[in-house]
Amino acid sequence: MFQAFKEWFWLERFWLPPTIKWSDLEDHDGLVFVKPSHLYMTAPYAFLLLIIRYFFEKFIATPVAKAFGIQKPVRKIIPNTILENFFKNSSRPLQTDIYGLAKKCNLTERQVERWFRRRRNQERPCRLKKFQEVCWRFAFYLLLTIAGVVFLYDKPWAYDFWEVWSGYPRQPLLPSQYWYYMLEMSFYWSLTFSLGSDTKRKDFLANVVHHLAALSLMSFSWCANYIRSGTLVMIVHDVADIWLESAKIFSYAGWKKTCNALFLIFTVVFFITRFIIFPLWILHCTLIMPLHYLEPFFSYIFLNLQLLILQGLHFYWGYLILKMIKRNILQKNFKDVRSDEEEEEEEEEEEEGKEEATKGKERNCLKNGLGTNKHLIPNGQHGR
């Protein structure tokens, strides 16, 4: 049964233009052609990248974070069995629950609220972890962009899109194309594998869809030998991402003006690449130009369907970017709109800081023998 499915799945009519057979893409005369089996290597390469990422975050990203003054916070709370058992079921108790828990634990309601706030913060990733993640993504997007430029600068199809379809599908595989695809696909596999441990953001589901769509698109373009158009799609997307990750690096470091400037650069690059170059040039290259050479066939339709889905995701992220600019940049207060938890954590940490400051003032007042109404407290009755 499996063999029958395999034979059906790899039928030439699903992958290749009419009259073209898989035998036409066998290696000959020193020319190497793409093979689906090449993609098996992306899995071990992805795990290798996860190992490299671990050491990168430990020995490069962490020292850089310390240089920016980003430290791992110490989030200690007083152990409380009753509150801990309640927290396992609900991390946000209602006001009636707080009242009952305060009675059980012999605490004030304010102390119970503070305990739950600090306990929630223990479950959230700290700023250092977020900084390590964006440092890794920035470094690899930069590597991919440089690799893309190096691999494509002397290729004729990077300047003349008609060359993308010259001789298709009998186009041999170049070593630069192989390694560009391996790097890109392995990186997205590694991002997919680490989604469960990375910082959860508002667009988590969109990220899952994006990673799987990107992997599906690259895998399909590989198997159907759309390598030339595939490399163009990859470089167009990678060139903008480095600006976003660099903006977030400086956001976590507290360099708001630098962050805002980099984010505005990212916005310009994003809208140029995603809403001008990609639809007007790349989609035109994959959707319109092939019709001058070939009749529409299944893989041509499926390839462009995936590219259109990708363009739909561009509209979603474009909406988030415009929302971010309206909400934060214009107010000179950049935050990643994809992270509700991050904003909430900052607000709670700020509130805790205000509480600590208030306590410090009260202690100073008590130490100096002054109450809130600035009258002397008689007979040293500071504890009442």
Residues 190-218: pLDDT tens digits?
Answer: 998 988 777 777 667 777 877 888 899 99
pTM (2 d.p.): 0.78
The answer on pLDDT for 270 being more than 70 is yes
User: How far apart, in whole angstroms, are the C-alpha atoms of residue 297 and residue 295?
Assistant: 6
Which two three-digit tokens encode residue 331?
Answer: 């107010």
User: How far apart, in whole angstroms, are the C-alpha atoms of residue 293 and residue 313?
Assistant: 30
CB atoms closer than 10 angstroms to residue 206: 15
CB atoms closer than 10 angstroms to residue 147: 18
Long-range contacts of 158-162 (CB under 8 A, 24+ apart): 158/232, 161/281, 161/284, 161/285, 161/289, 162/289
Burial 106-116 (b: 16+ CB within 10 A, else e): ebeeebbbbbb
User: How far apart, in whole angstroms, are the C-alpha atoms of residue 152 and residue 159?
Assistant: 9
Nearest Cα neighbor of 240 from 135, 374, 365, 144 is 144
Q: Tell me what pLDDT residue 93 has.
A: 87
Domains of the chain: 32-66+126-331 (no CATH), 81-123 (1.10.10.60)
Residue type present at position 58: K
The answer on pLDDT for 366 being more than 60 is no
Among 24-38, 111-125, 287-301, whose mean pLDDT is lowest? 111-125
User: How far apart, in whole angstroms, are the C-alpha atoms of residue 117 and residue 252?
Assistant: 22
Q: Bridge-partner residues for 28, per DSSP?
A: 31
Torsion-angle region of residue 167: left (phi > 0), alpha (psi -120 to 50) or beta?
Answer: left
